A = this chain, B = another copy of it.
């Protein structure tokens, strides 16, 4: 979204939200800050209008997102729902499958998302592929509904925008993104508090594992490789989920185009996470090993000893990555 081209909220979406009384708000599996923050902000906003909402996320809320006001609203099981809710709002994704709710039936459904539409779903579709975050779209939606942005809503929306813009570092960071975020600060969101919770709450074990992983760094041309073994988890007390953003560290080097993290799943069995910069397409490399992902973030699994697994990857990179 270019700055100053403010988002237009569809009238039929506003009518839907005003007229109905009960909403089932769902977001995507493997959720991130935009999914969590958007869902909570919308739930809170609708409840100030006297609506009833149920907020569903198949996966549970990780510890480091539990600073979000209202995070306890999330349910990850529908078996205890007292009554059938007929109105679905799908957030930050646009198919029931992405939310893990493909088995559920609704009378009406609305999609609010900034990802390109995968297939035709939803009676009301509000999809803005150029918006930096679903949280940004919700900011305009909540204002269009005449609902005040409370401190709790502001924190959730700020987190949503922060996560999807790399806290204002990715190329979707427009003047508008900063203007909206400034309004959220005025409404009570604290950038330092939110950043602290997102980026400065590592355990000592996780940090020790990062240092151990960085000590394995090997650079071959413009490819950086690090690895984590089962023994390293044991020594540091960290766990596989702790390695999530480890590949971002070698990325700091200017002439590194691809970073690979090899994680030992079992003896001679490795999970490989690839990250790339610019037009280096790692999804194509992962596909060679029956893996998948996006252009700049992909992965696969391989049964081999570490050295062979690394060599196979290095051989695959030059021929495919820049295709």
Does A219 reach chain B (CB closer than 8 Å)? yes
A1-15 interface mask toward B, CB cutoff 8 Å, 1 = contact, 0 = none? 001100000000000
Q: Contacts A192-B169, A253-B204, A254-B200 given: A182-B185 contact, CB under 8 Å?
A: no
Q: A200-B251, A252-B207, A277-B200 are in contact. Are A190 and B171 (CB under 8 A)?
A: yes
- Counting CB contacts under 8 A, is A53 at the interface? no
Cβ of A217 < 8 Å from any Cβ of B?
Answer: yes
Q: For the complex, give the distance between the alpha carbons of A86 and B200 in Å.
A: 47
> In the complex the two chains form, what is the Cα distance from A167 to B217 in whole Å?
27
Question: Distance (Å) between the CB of A164 and the closest chain B CB?
Answer: 13
A253 to B199, CA, bound (A): 8
Bound state CA distance, A255 and B204, in angstroms? Answer: 8
Which residues of the partner chain B approach A201 to less than 8 Å between Cβ atoms? Answer: 254
Q: How many chain A residues have a CB neighbour from B under 8 Å?
A: 45
Mark A167-207 against chain B: 1 for CB-CB distance below 8 A, else 0: 11111011110110111011000111001100111111011
Establish whether residues B191 and A169, one from each chain, have CB atoms under 8 Å apart when the complex forms.
yes
Find out whether the CB atom of B252 lies under 8 angstroms from the CB atom of A200.
yes
How many angstroms between the C-alpha atoms of A210 and B217 in the bound complex? 12
B182 touches A3 (CB 8 A): yes
Which A residues are within 8 Å of any B CB, using their own CB? 3-4, 166-171, 173-176, 178-179, 181-183, 185-186, 190-192, 195-196, 199-204, 206-207, 210-211, 214-215, 217, 219, 250-255, 277
Known: A168-B191, A178-B181, A200-B253. 10 other contacts (CB 8 A): A3-B185, A167-B169, A170-B192, A170-B195, A171-B191, A174-B185, A175-B186, A201-B254, A204-B219, A211-B211
